[in-house]
Structure 1
Amino acid sequence: MTRQVTLLVNDQPITLDYFVQSFIDHTICGILASLEGTEEVHDVEVSIKGDNLTINLNNASLPTNPFVSKIIRNTIVGMVSSLKGVSEIDRVNIIIKR
């Protein structure tokens, strides 16, 4: 499946190789598939600012409760913190276009 994955950390683009793009794509889409009432992913944008998480799935805001938001946020921050060139994380923006 053709997809484009863009990652910004603290508003700085992070270069992603094929493996990391695929890993982020499958992780985010797997998380979304586990949520009740979500539809097939065509475009998704996940933004983290501090403790706040917003998800836009196919151009619609996806509400999450505090527990789900915390799990998703911690998963993404843990994944992104391992990448080369990433140190302190204040903001994360992931855009996936399929």
Structure 2
Amino acid sequence: MGTRQISLSVNDVPIEIDYFVQGFIDHVMGGILVSLEGTGEIKTLDVSIEGDEVRINLNGAVVPINPFVNKIIRNTVAGMVSSLKGVSEINSMRISIRR
């Protein structure tokens, strides 16, 4: 897979993530994007979640998603992140991936 940089913040607080969690987040987000039409290889990915709204920026372009996809992504990411040490209530999340 090569070199990757993955960062996560919850409620504007950076969350320290180890190698396993970085790889897990990378693969989950990659799987989500592969399932969306019109997406390609991830070079840069920024996912922000504010409340119930998900915004995806892939390689500098906004990826449009419908309400159903928005809900699935939000719930998947929230479920994954809520299990991490130091995370309690989630109001906002940001995931950044650089490959």
TM-score (norm 1): 0.98
Q: How many residues align?
A: 98
Describe how 1:41-56 pairs up with structure 2 within 5 A. Answer: 41-56=42-57
The runs of at least 4 consecutive aligned structure 1 residues that moved more than 6 Å come to none
Cα RMSD (Å) of the superposition? 0.5
Query: Residues of 2 paired with 1:43 and 1:37: CA distance?
Result: 15
Identity %: 64
Q: Secondary structure at the match of 2:85?
A: coil
Distance 2:98 2:92 in 1: 20
Provide the C-alpha distance between the structure 1 equivalents of 2:33 and 2:79, rounded to a whole number of angstroms. Answer: 17
**Alignment partner, residue 58 of structure 1:** 59
Alpha-carbon distance in 2 for matches of 1:4, 1:49: 22
3-state DSSP of counterpart to 1:5: strand
Shift of 1:39: 1.1
| Alpha-carbon offset, residue 41 of structure 1 | 0.6
Gaps of 5+ in 1: none
Q: TM-score, normalised by structure 2?
A: 0.97
- Specify every segment of 5 or more residues in structure 2 that has no aligned partner in the other structure, as ranges: none
